[in-house]
Structure 1
Amino acid sequence: MSDDFVPLTWADLTGCPRPEPQAAIAYGDDPWQRVDLWLPDGPGPFPTVLMVHGGCWTTGIADRTLTNWVADDLRRDGFAVWNIDYRGVDRPGGGYPGTFQDVAAAADALRGYAPKYGLDLRRVVAIGHSAGGHLALWLAGRRRLPQDSVLWCATPLPIAHVVACGALADLEAVAASPDKGCGTDVVGDLVGDASTGRDVYADTSVPRLLPIGVRHDLVYGREDRIVPYRLATDYADRAGAEAVLHTVPDTGHVELVTPGTPAWTVTKRLIAAAFAPRA
């Protein structure tokens, strides 16, 4: 870290004029069961990015509008962005299984709207930030859930690639990390207690689903004060060859979803590469 490094704050991002999506879509009756769709100019079909916001799985901390700036940046580069929201642990029905059911339903709803909006679903790339990075990876791996799981789905939307930025992928490690920026109780709020006798981590924590069978790029800021860097290296070691860790120096947590930063430049390059024709 350079001596003069000062991390961005959320006010540095949210103080900029906020762009607005081209369409808003409900996938359920709850006010938080919503998707914002960002569409490039032209008729399509558009390569489609599925975006999941962070905020410690807590709606009161963040919702999908926190990623409006990067969603618009991708839209300007020719990508459609399916930017999903979900009930956090602080909302009725949030936690387990509701938060996960929402994320799954929002992803699967993409199929029904693709023809109307010219969305190309042959290769969907998911991107998530922080808690949203965990959820994006979980979406890619949920096809490995056992059939007795309440979260099991016979035909989940296929995710071809994930770019996870500052992801809190390993819920068990996060729960045991008091130095993370989400506090000490949030994972317990997310997965609930063990009174049912079910090992909920087996349904929800990404390492329990490994190998997920999907290539994923992990983008982390070396000076991230919300997600300790050891969570990045430990998960990357567990994921093995299907994950690649990209460490961005002089970068904190906010920089990961702020247009124009080195971290976001890395993420955009990885997204574009994920859509490139396979050899």
Structure 2
Amino acid sequence: MKSTRPTRLRTAVFLTAVAVVAGCSNSSGDTAVAEHDTQPATLRVSYGDGADNYGFLHLPGGDGPHPVVVMVHGGGWLEDHDLSYFEPLSQSLADEGIAVWNIEYRRVEGAGGWPITLADADDATEALATSVQDAAGGSLDLERVHLAGHSAGGHLAAWIAGRHTLPPDAPGSQPEIRPVSATIMAGVFDLSLAATAGHDGFVRELLDGMPDDHPDRYAIASPIEHLPVGLPVTAVHGTADQTVNPVQSRTYVQASQAAGDPAELHMLDGLGHGEFGDVHSPAWSAAKQIIVEHVGV
């Protein structure tokens, strides 16, 4: 799969204010293109031509430069789960003075699947240097880009963290944006393990088969195959998770540390899978603290 980077460089800037943004609307209600001022704002920004090639950019108050967290939602990579449940979490990070890029992507049972879902995650991240930075009025610090994801979005965030290790013909290879940390909540790191020992049908749907059918796809898509990544990855997982086996986080962190990466594991006693999507939960509170510590605000 050839890189989609030439396409992303031609991406136009489309902004829609979804919060009170001084100077970002016109009397006709048309889509607005405007510079960000010092007020907090939430903007919808497109990074491609597909209906799901967009994200919500949460800008804190102040002139910047602002560190950025790329948020990647979960839901089994499926069309019927979208970025909306990550909006309260994104806003809670923006309230800490962090710019947050909550991304949507094309998904299985929609226009996504292999390799489009992964390519979209890459394109959305790379758009920080183009359409998203334009939307922010140049206020983003692209040397301080961090990642956070939950479940299937945790897989994509961990994959983004290691995509610079991929061969040149793989989706996501040779990125311009190099994140400096990743916080992965109940993530899927080893897709082969999930599809076989874990009997995970979601993985099989994403990659359109089992590891024996598509070993090359599993090698490209599995974050555990891309070590070392050269940045701190913190895996956070509930001990009572019945959706994604905690062994995913344990084995990834062990492999990362063995490869020389500064990976950490935080097991949350008695917590399950979905709690990370609740802004008021102890699971999100723990993950948010880790993200904020990585960012250093």
Q: TM-score, normalised by structure 2?
A: 0.79
Q: Could you tell me whether the CA contact under 8 Å between 2:119 and 2:172 is conserved in 1?
A: no
| Alpha-carbon distance between aligned partners in 2 of 1:82 and 1:40, rounded to the nearest angstrom | 12
| Equivalent residues in 2 for 1:17-96, closer than 5 Å | 22-60=42-80, 62-92=81-111, 94-96=112-114
| Alpha-carbon distance between aligned partners in 1 of 2:212 and 2:248, rounded to the nearest angstrom | 28
Residue by residue over 1:138-171, the C-alpha shift from the partner in whole angstroms, topping out at 9 and shown as x without a partner, is 001000001232x153333101000000001111
Match of 2:122 in 1: 104
| Alpha-carbon distance between aligned partners in 2 of 1:230 and 1:153, rounded to the nearest angstrom | 28
Please state whether the residue corresponding to 1:200 is helix, strand or coil: helix
Residue 34 of structure 1 deviates from its aligned partner by 0.9
Does structure 1 residue 220 correspond to structure 2 residue 220?
A: no
Q: Could you tell me whether the CA contact under 8 Å between 2:118 and 2:172 is conserved in 1?
A: no
Please state whether the residue corresponding to 1:70 is helix, strand or coil: helix
Q: How many matched pairs?
A: 252
Q: 1:167 aligns with which of 174, 178, 187?
A: 187
Q: 1:152 to 1:25 in 2, by over 3 A?
A: closer
Q: Could you tell me whether the CA contact under 8 Å between 1:132 and 1:167 is conserved in 2?
A: yes
Please state whether the residue corresponding to 2:290 is helix, strand or coil: helix
Q: Name the Cα RMSD after superposition.
A: 2.2
Bigger mean CA deviation after superposition, 24-33 or 234-243: 234-243
| Alpha-carbon distance between aligned partners in 1 of 2:42 and 2:82, rounded to the nearest angstrom | 17
Structure 2 gap ranges (5+): 1-17, 20-40
Residue 251 of structure 1 deviates from its aligned partner by 1.2
Please state whether the residue corresponding to 1:220 is helix, strand or coil: strand
Q: Could you tell me whether the CA contact under 8 Å between 2:52 and 2:104 is conserved in 1?
A: yes
Structure 1 gap ranges (5+): 1-18
Percentage of matched positions with identical amino acids:
34
User: Of the two structures, which has the highest relative contact order with CA contacts closer than 8 Å and spacing of 6 or more?
Assistant: 1
| Equivalent residues in 2 for 1:1-279, closer than 5 Å | 22-60=42-80, 62-92=81-111, 94-112=112-130, 113-114=132-133, 116-117=135-136, 118-149=139-170, 151-178=171-198, 184-193=200-209, 199-240=216-257, 241-276=261-296
Residue 197 of structure 1 deviates from its aligned partner by 6.8
Amino acid at match of 1:265: S
| Alpha-carbon distance between aligned partners in 2 of 1:200 and 1:175, rounded to the nearest angstrom | 13
Bigger mean CA deviation after superposition, 265-274 or 217-226: 265-274
Q: 1:153 to 1:238 in 2, by over 3 A?
A: closer
Amino acid at match of 1:129: H
Q: TM-score, normalised by structure 1?
A: 0.84
Q: Could you tell me whether the CA contact under 8 Å between 2:114 and 2:207 is conserved in 1?
A: yes
